[in-house]
């Protein structure tokens, strides 16, 4: 399909009960019978008459996540400052232990990391800025680290963090960043795009930063191959997993990354304003002489109120905390991570997301204008798929009209919430992004959403 303007839309019949459609419905029903995420999905906060497919952007949440901060505020009302320690509140509250006792092990299980390598802290871009500062420390001879290697189509906040770091060291922003260019159509990267650039710029660049799932494309990159190749050539490696963390088995400890960052408000479903998360391979960071921040909450609990003397770091990545954390926001993380445990873990979540995405794609492929008027940008290879499906449209204007119709359908049917953008590789095309987190979306709803798109294409 060319990337030019779309053909004039023609009226298409509404999807009927074809044998293929019936087969998909039967498949969805069979898969739903063995769905281990169904009990968690009953806790989803989704209004009637809507299908929420925006977990990849600013997603919905779950009832326990909404209830958790209310409990914390009630504890605050009842116990005040005594809520921080169980020994002070008579065991009624113990905010100081929320992260070490309720978060670290469960978060480590979701991202594939030992508990001592993970921490919930800050926000996504703040954590990236910290990661760049930790790994950008000048060498012992005082020479600054060389250039940063990243890729084109980087999300603006990541690009801004890189520019700010160059500016701090008074480096030329325009020449201090090297960008990998995608070699495949519509901005899709091949692994070799990164490997060739890492080989070519060895010695010139010292830090590699890339998005595990680049924004808008829905493609999941081969993190392990890229990270290990980079480390073998002396790079320090930072990975932004904002769009894959929570729905894709990251296997962080085996990935080869020095630092991985992510957020809570996307696929982790912890709501707007949620704390970010950070994976830091602490032993690797010590071995390479990384710089570590110092803050009073990053001290060992025994030394937090010790005035003067040497800073004693808390254990593991907890040492990367700075100021007093919010028990309200941490409680939301503890609540959602329990849902991952109840559902059977990240492998189950990923498998269930793939099942829903496949139903969605297989139904859309039955539409007469599939491949001409619109197509699929996301990869079918399971290694390059998380919970996000991206469609491209030959006309950006048509994509925008469909998005508006899905949010408020003219025929009064079920509304579908998603996300739309003008294509980053060609302003004439449009993109629409859909998230299929199984805690929010059922198999039947994945099919229904595809049906709504087919109906909407006939209306716009």
Task: Output the pLDDT for position 5.
Answer: 35
Q: Among 131-145, 154-168, 177-191, 349-363, name the one with the lowest average pLDDT.
A: 131-145
Which are the contacts of 281, defined by CB distance < 8 A and separation ≥ 6? 117, 253, 257, 258, 259
- Could you give the 3-state DSSP secondary structure of residue 370? strand
Q: Could you tell me if 430 and 67 are in contact, meaning their C-beta atoms sit under 8 angstroms apart? A: no
Edge-to-edge strand ranges of the sheet holding 177-180: 118-120, 277-280, 259-262, 236-240, 205-211, 147-151, 177-180
Helices (H), 181-309: 191-200, 223-232, 252-255, 282-287
Average of per-residue pLDDT values in the chain = 92
Q: How far is CA 319 from the centre of its chain?
A: 24
pLDDT in tens, 1-39: 333 333 333 333 334 445 677 799 999 999 999 999 999
Question: Residue 244: is it exposed, middle or buried by C-beta count within 10 angstroms (0-12/13-18/19+)?
Answer: buried
Half-sphere exposure of 381 (CA within 13 A, CB side): 8
- Give the rounded percent of residues in the chain with a pLDDT score beyond 70: 94
Could you give the CA distance from residue 279 to residue 56 in angstroms, rounded to a whole number? 20
CB atoms inside a 10 Å sphere around CB 170: 7
Could you give the CA distance from residue 442 to residue 35 in angstroms, rounded to a whole number? 9
Q: What is the dihedral of CA 157, 162, 164, 168, to 10 degrees?
A: 160
pLDDT in tens, 407-429: 999 999 999 999 999 998 899 99
Q: Could you tell me if 414 and 50 are in contact, meaning their C-beta atoms sit under 8 angstroms apart? A: yes
CA distances for 172 relative to 142, 272, 307, 365, angstroms: 18, 35, 41, 48
- Could you give the 3-state DSSP secondary structure of residue 236? strand
Task: Output the pLDDT for position 275.
Answer: 96
> Do the strands 374-376 and 388-393 form a parallel or antiparallel pair, or are they unpaired?
antiparallel
Task: Output the pLDDT for position 144.
Answer: 67
Helices (H), 116-155: 124-135
Which are the contacts of 237, defined by CB distance < 8 A and separation ≥ 6? 207, 208, 209, 227, 230, 231, 256, 257, 258, 259
Could you give the CA distance from residue 162 to residue 164 in angstroms, rounded to a whole number? 5
CB atoms inside a 10 Å sphere around CB 138: 11
Tokens 């309720």, residue? 102
Half-sphere exposure of 118 (CA within 13 A, CB side): 27
**Token pair listed for 437:** 């987190």
Task: Output the pLDDT for position 310.
Answer: 87
Could you give the CA distance from residue 279 to residue 270 in angstroms, rounded to a whole number? 18
Could you give the CA distance from residue 373 to residue 352 in angstroms, rounded to a whole number? 29
Q: Once rounded to an integer, what is the mean pLDDT over residues 377-381?
A: 85
Could you give the CA distance from residue 376 to residue 165 in angstroms, rounded to a whole number? 36
Looking at the predicted structure, is the pLDDT value of residue 290 above 50? yes
Reported confidence tier of residue 460, pLDDT bands at 50, 70, 90? confident
**Token pair listed for 212:** 């595990």
- Could you give the 3-state DSSP secondary structure of residue 182? coil
What is the pTM for the complete model shown?
0.93
Task: Output the pLDDT for position 12.
Answer: 33
Could you give the CA distance from residue 50 to residue 106 in angstroms, rounded to a whole number? 31
Q: Could you tell me if 38 and 380 are in contact, meaning their C-beta atoms sit under 8 angstroms apart? A: no
Q: What is the dihedral of CA 372, 430, 150, 162, to 10 degrees?
A: 180
Could you give the CA distance from residue 358 to residue 441 in angstroms, rounded to a whole number? 13
3-state helix, strand, coil in the chain (%, to 5): 45, 15, 40
- Give the rounded percent of residues in the chain with a pLDDT score beyond 90: 83
Q: Once rounded to an integer, what is the mean pLDDT over residues 233-250?
A: 97
Q: Among 9-23, 74-88, 322-336, name the one with the lowest average pLDDT.
A: 9-23
CATH numbers and ranges of domains, the chain: 19-34+345-459 (3.90.1150.10), 70-342 (3.40.640.10)
Element (H, E) at 33: helix 19-33
Reported confidence tier of residue 142, pLDDT bands at 50, 70, 90? low
Q: Could you tell me if 393 and 432 are in contact, meaning their C-beta atoms sit under 8 angstroms apart? A: yes
Task: Output the pLDDT for position 292.
Answer: 96
Which are the contacts of 16, defined by CB distance < 8 A and separation ≥ 6? none
């Amino acid at each position: 399909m060319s990337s030019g303007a779309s053909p004039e839309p023609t009226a298409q019949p509404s999807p009927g009960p074809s044998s293929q459609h019936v087969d998909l419905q039967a498949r969805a029903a069979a898969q739903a019978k063995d769905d281990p995420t169904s009990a968690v999905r009953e806790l989803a906060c989704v209004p009637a008459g809507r299908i929420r497919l925006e977990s990849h952007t600013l997603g919905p949440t779950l009832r326990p996540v909404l209830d958790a901060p209310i409990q914390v505020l009630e504890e605050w009302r009842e116990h005040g400052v005594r809520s921080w320690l169980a020994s002070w509140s008579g065991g009624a509250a113990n905010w100081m232990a929320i992260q070490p006792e309720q978060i670290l092990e469960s978060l480590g299980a979701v991202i594939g990391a030992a508990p001592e390598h993970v921490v919930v802290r800050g926000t996504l871009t703040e954590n990236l800025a910290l990661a760049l500062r930790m790994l950008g420390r000048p060498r012992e001879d005082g020479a600054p680290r060389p250039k940063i290697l990243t890729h084109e189509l980087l999300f603006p906040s990541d690009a801004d963090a890189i520019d700010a770091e160059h500016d701090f060291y008074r480096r030329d922003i325009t020449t201090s960043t090297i960008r990998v260019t995608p070699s495949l159509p519509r901005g899709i990267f091949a692994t070799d795009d990164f490997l060739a650039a890492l080989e070519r710029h060895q010695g010139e660049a010292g830090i590699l930063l890339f998005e595990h799932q680049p924004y808008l494309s829905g493609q999941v990159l081969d993190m392990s191959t890229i990270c290990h190749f980079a480390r073998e050539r002396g790079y320090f490696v930072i990975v932004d997993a904002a769009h894959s963390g929570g729905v894709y088995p990251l296997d962080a400890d085996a990935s080869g990354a020095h630092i991985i960052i992510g957020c809570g408000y996307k696929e982790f479903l912890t709501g707007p304003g949620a704390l970010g998360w950070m994976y830091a391979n602490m032993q690797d960071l010590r071995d390479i002489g990384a710089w570590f921040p110092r803050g009073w909450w990053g001290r060992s609990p025994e030394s937090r109120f010790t005035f003067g003397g040497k800073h004693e770091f808390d254990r593991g990545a907890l040492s990367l905390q700075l100021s007093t954390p919010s028990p309200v926001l941490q409680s939301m993380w503890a609540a959602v991570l329990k849902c991952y445990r109840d559902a059977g873990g990240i492998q189950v979540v990923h498998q269930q997301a793939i099942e829903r995405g496949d139903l969605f794609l297989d139904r859309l492929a039955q539409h007469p204008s599939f491949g001409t008027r619109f197509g699929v940008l996301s990869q079918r290879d399971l290694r390059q798929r998380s919970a996000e499906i991206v469609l491209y449209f030959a006309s950006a204007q048509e994509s925008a009209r469909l998005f508006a119709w899905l949010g408020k359908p003219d025929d009064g049917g079920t509304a579908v919430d998603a996300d739309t953008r003008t294509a980053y590789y060609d302003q004439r095309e449009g993109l629409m992004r859909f998230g299929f987190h199984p805690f929010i979306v059922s198999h039947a709803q994945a099919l229904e959403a595809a049906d709504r798109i087919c109906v909407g294409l006939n209306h716009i």
